[in-house]
Chains A and B, each alone.
Chain A
Amino acid sequence: MQFIQPDINIDFIGKRLIGFSLSGAFILISLLSLLLHGGPRYGIDFAGGTLIQIKFNVPTDSDAIKETLKPLGINGASIQQYGDVTDNEYLIRADMSYEKLEGLSEKVQQAFINAMSDSEESEQSSEDKTASISEEQTPTTQSSTDKEISENSETSKAPPVEVRRIEMVGPQVGKDLREKALLAMFFALLFITIYISGRFEFKWVISGVMAACLMGGVYFFKVLNVSMPFLIFLALILAMVLFWFLRLKYAMGAIAALIHDVMITVGIFSIFDKEFTLPIIAALLTIIGYSLNDTIIVFDRIRENSRKLHRFTFDQIINKSINETLSRTILTSLTTLVVVISLFLFGGGIIHDFAFAMIIGVLIGTYSSIFVASPILLLWR
């Protein structure tokens, strides 16, 4: 069986302007969306806050949940249905506007147990319910009332609510994680630069020195408390300029493609208003790895063909190489897509966004290795 015929010859290089303008448009849309949304929407990993995943035995709706939460002063909490409607599972998310986050998760759990057991015992109206909770839940009473009731609920057969997951991240930790994630991406890019420049152009030393200088610079300014996103942005632009003057062609092609992939993935996340969490950073780094995989396989062919085919122009060599590897590119994208889609459909809620990011990443990574990374090699003519 064969999808791509061996003698295929598509003029990718001739159409590179179309590719560039398409990519440009995508990046522009991504940036616009990011601007309109005021930057990426950080999940609690990076913004700090509390997330509670709660499962009810009986059908509930988000209004009832809101009502129960009100006495705790959690008015701005977002409540989101999780999984199937029949699961009666919800995500409650509160941001950092609360003075004291410690103990919040228990308060919420307790409020629900109270509310649910109240409704079991008597047919009180929901207003009465919440009123009685608000009297009990003064901050000082909290820790001691909790204990008593949770013991009671243990004795009754099935608890009406189950808190399945609690995540609380303090604002300082959120900021630390954000910086760490940015640094991780940046460092990954630099190490990859060294490897590519070394393997493809034997410029181990010059790329190594360049990467070391950039890392040193970032660390130096980090000590001076310069804002990290700004710093990384500047460092990336500086890196591109250095690539240009040091004529690190392959590194520039690969890194430009990677930045392209990450930016568009981030943009699409922003358009769909999805959250950035730690697993999404893992997804972005995997996309970097995957897209690079693709790019390097094409580059490898270019390197091999330029040794062999002296009569061809560089455009022709690049085009020939892309065509020769096209079959493999499509096949691998296909198998990877198959598993990632299976993960997306059957992997469950926690991994859902991760799989979504991977689907976008695989598609864009495949595209960029053909239309972004390789044509950039021609810029030095």
Chain B
Amino acid sequence: MKNISPRTIIILLVLFGSLLYVLPSFHIDVWPHKKINLGLDLQGGMHLVLEVEAEKAVESTIERMSNELRRELKTNHIKFLDLKRKGFQISLKVLEDKGIEKFDKLLDDEFPEFRIVTKSQKDNKLSIVLDLPDSDVSEIKLKAAEQALETIRNRIDEFGVSEPDIRRQGERRILIQLPGVKDPRRAKELIGKTALLEFKLVDDKNSVEDATKGKVPSGMEILYQVVENRQTHRLSKTPFLVEKRTTLTGEYLTDARVNIDSQYNEPYVSIKFNKKGARLFERITETNVQRRLAIVLDQKIHSAPVIQERISGGEARITGSFTHEEAHDLAIVLRAGALPAPVHILEERTVGPSLGKDSIRMGLLSMLIGAILVIVFMIIYYKTAGVIADVALGLNIILIGAGLAGFQATLTLPGIAGIILTIGMAVDANVLIFERIREELRVGKSPLAAIDAGYSKATLTILDANVTTLIAAIVLFQFGTGPVKGFAVTLSLGVLASLFTALIVSRQIFDSILVNRQVRSLSI
């Protein structure tokens, strides 16, 4: 080995480096420890795109502010009529000159964020419509999406999925990828549940029967308790007449745990309030002894126990015929907090693990068959030169694998298709060169001169041809989602790898053959 050129060293370094990156994927643990990430379509898992109904967050904010306004009006003894929220607006009528005066002051002092939409005064009656400025509305929406993302991330972390990918997509969409999730339905329920926990007092003065017939007293609403019979899977729905006003919500929770009731051997969720929540809870239980307090989760009553005595210490339990799994998941969502707004699923793709394995097996099989056919063909058609092209092809595949592992890109089924396609196209560069060399040989050039001319003439062509493919691949990557992106990645890696192998590696092999032995004729 007298003359090892710098090019040979570079090639060997690249080969060594890419082997280091490829090997961990075949369970041979060497230094970089980076395995090729398999996409959801290959390893099984769930891909979800959720949309946050951010309008609902705005509505509930405005609802809360209108409740505050009502309270302030009452404590300031301002007479008013028809205070109600419609969409994003609050409308009301204020009576008496003195009241209007006090109202204007109240609005300036306590509610500076409100924007006055319309205002008209007739005699001593002021009609006014209020809303929030657009910048506030869009900020609430933005916050809702951010908070939803954070909440969902916490829930999934507690649920225990390895390497979940959760991110914002656009303004109000959330992309969730859960590789290898075992029970997709349960995961979906856990993610999608709003988990708004509310405590509402049950109305004991009016009858539920009248209310279900349509005579709902003002300030009240009907909510249902749904109980399932374990044996028959039938559901029974019991209506309750409860106060619309929420006495306490889940935002004051500090903890939620699953416990087992020793008497009935049924799981329940015990919750713990923070200081403020505990104080509120104590006051509610104190002033409403012997009334029923409904525990409402997402507009469904879980239980409505009778308050026996004042409860201090800020602990309560949610019962309801839970399975252990349900209780566990409920505790998770209560701990992680409620979503600021409901979400709905826009897109779902779930692949079972067995299908993923099949896809890998079939993908590899067709890759192997395709590669063998191409390799054999190249040897038959180009003889020794064909072998050189095949060596370059092998290196090409290793380079793609190393690129995937090194950049931590994701290999998907279309990605495997991309590799297979690259096998077909990678030999193209070598074919171009070899055809050129043959042309030059035909003109009567010596092997060395023919190779030189062949490479130099083909290089520009190969560059042009590959750059355009690369352009298509990059555009694919920019616009694509999931599987298509995976395809774009392997295609781009394949193009770059084939440029390297065809222009540098196969050239080097030719050179070393020709320099070391004085070859008269070229086997091409």
A168 and B345 in contact (CB under 8 A), knowing A162-B352, A292-B468, A343-B370? yes
Fill in one digit per residue for A295-311: 1 if any B CB lies within 8 Å of its CB, else 0. Answer: 01100110010000000
- Residues of chain A within 8 A (CB-CB) of B369 are 342, 346
A170 and B345 in contact (CB under 8 A), knowing A162-B352, A162-B354? yes
CB-CB contacts below 8 Å: B334-386 with A: 344-352, 354-355, 358-359, 362-363, 365-366, 369-371, 373-374, 377-378, 380-382
CB-CB contacts below 8 Å: A313-356 with B: 324-325, 327-328, 331-332, 334-340, 342-343, 345-348, 350-351, 354-355
A282 and B480 in contact (CB under 8 A), knowing A150-B185, A165-B352, A339-B420? yes
State which of A143, A162, A358 has its C-beta within 8 Å of the C-beta of B189.
A143
- Residues of chain A within 8 A (CB-CB) of B377 are 334-335, 338
A328 and B352 in contact (CB under 8 A), knowing A293-B469, A338-B373? no
Pick out which of these stretches binds chain B: A30-38, A181-189, A220-228.
A181-189
Fill in one digit per residue for B88-131: 1 if any A CB lies within 8 Å of its CB, else 0. Answer: 00000000000000000000000000000000000000000000
B423 on interface, CB distance cutoff 8 Å: yes
A55 to B346, CA, bound (A): 25
- Residues of chain A within 8 A (CB-CB) of B186 are 147
B346 touches A282 (CB 8 A): no
State which of B435, B466, B484 has its C-beta within 8 Å of the C-beta of A278.
B484
A347 touches B345 (CB 8 A): no
B interface size (C-beta, 8 A): 86
B472 touches A192 (CB 8 A): yes
A334 to B226, CA, bound (A): 66
B427 touches A164 (CB 8 A): no
A138 to B228, CA, bound (A): 13
A1 and B380 in contact (CB under 8 A), knowing A187-B479, A345-B366, A348-B358? yes
- Residues of chain B within 8 A (CB-CB) of A288 are 472
B487 on interface, CB distance cutoff 8 Å: yes
A141 and B228 in contact (CB under 8 A), knowing A289-B473, A347-B366, A351-B413? yes
A348 to B377, CA, bound (A): 24
B252 to chain A, nearest CB (A): 27
A293 to B348, CA, bound (A): 36
- Residues of chain A within 8 A (CB-CB) of B461 are 296-297, 300-301
A343 to chain B, nearest CB (A): 5
Q: Is the interface of B mostly helix, strand, loop or mixed?
A: helix
B469 touches A292 (CB 8 A): yes
- Residues of chain B within 8 A (CB-CB) of A97 are none
B348 touches A166 (CB 8 A): yes
A335 and B424 in contact (CB under 8 A), knowing A282-B476, A286-B491? yes
State which of B362, B465, B476 has its C-beta within 8 Å of the C-beta of A293.
B465
A147 touches B325 (CB 8 A): yes
B513 on interface, CB distance cutoff 8 Å: no
Q: A174's closest neighbor in chain B, by CB?
A: B347
B352 touches A293 (CB 8 A): no
A300 touches B460 (CB 8 A): yes
Q: B184's closest neighbor in chain A, by CB?
A: A166
A348 to B367, CA, bound (A): 12
A282 and B487 in contact (CB under 8 A), knowing A187-B479, A293-B468? yes
A285 touches B472 (CB 8 A): yes
State which of B235, B358, B475 has its C-beta within 8 Å of the C-beta of A144.
B235
B398 on interface, CB distance cutoff 8 Å: no
State which of B355, B413, B421, B435 has its C-beta within 8 Å of the C-beta of A339.
B421
Interface centre among A6, A146, A167, A332 (most CB of B within 10 A): A332
B442 on interface, CB distance cutoff 8 Å: yes
- Residues of chain B within 8 A (CB-CB) of A8 are none
A180 on interface, CB distance cutoff 8 Å: yes
A180 to B487, CA, bound (A): 16
Q: Is the interface of A mostly helix, strand, loop or mixed?
A: helix
A169 on interface, CB distance cutoff 8 Å: yes
A340 to chain B, nearest CB (A): 7
B323 touches A151 (CB 8 A): yes
Fill in one digit per residue for A279-295: 1 if any B CB lies within 8 Å of its CB, else 0. Answer: 10110011011101100
Interface centre among A140, A286, A297 (most CB of B within 10 A): A286
Interface centre among B374, B427, B471 (most CB of A within 10 A): B471
A145 touches B346 (CB 8 A): no
A335 touches B428 (CB 8 A): yes
CB-CB contacts below 8 Å: B160-200 with A: 183-186, 189
A336 and B421 in contact (CB under 8 A), knowing A6-B439, A165-B350, A168-B348? yes
B481 on interface, CB distance cutoff 8 Å: yes
B370 touches A338 (CB 8 A): yes
CB-CB contacts below 8 Å: B377-432 with A: 377-378, 380-382, 413-414, 416-418, 420-421, 423-425, 427-428, 431-432
A195 on interface, CB distance cutoff 8 Å: yes
B484 touches A146 (CB 8 A): no
CB-CB contacts below 8 Å: A118-174 with B: 136, 138, 140-141, 143-151, 162-170, 172-173
State which of B228, B355, B414 has its C-beta within 8 Å of the C-beta of A354.
B414
B202 to chain A, nearest CB (A): 22
A151 to B226, CA, bound (A): 20
Interface centre among A180, A195, A289 (most CB of B within 10 A): A289
- Residues of chain B within 8 A (CB-CB) of A300 are 460-461, 464-465
The 7 A-B residue pairs whose C-beta atoms are closest, nearest first, are A339-B370, A336-B424, A348-B362, A184-B479, A342-B370, A346-B366, A289-B472
Sample (27) of A-B pairs whose CB atoms are under 8 Å apart:
A6-B439, A106-B185, A140-B226, A141-B228, A144-B235, A163-B352, A166-B184, A169-B346, A187-B475, A278-B483, A281-B484, A282-B483, A282-B484, A282-B487, A286-B421, A292-B472, A293-B428, A293-B469, A328-B428, A335-B374, A335-B424, A335-B428, A338-B424, A340-B370, A346-B369, A347-B362, A351-B413
6 further A-B contacts with Cβ under 8 Å, apart from A140-B235, A145-B233, A332-B425, are A141-B233, A184-B480, A279-B487, A281-B484, A339-B374, A350-B413
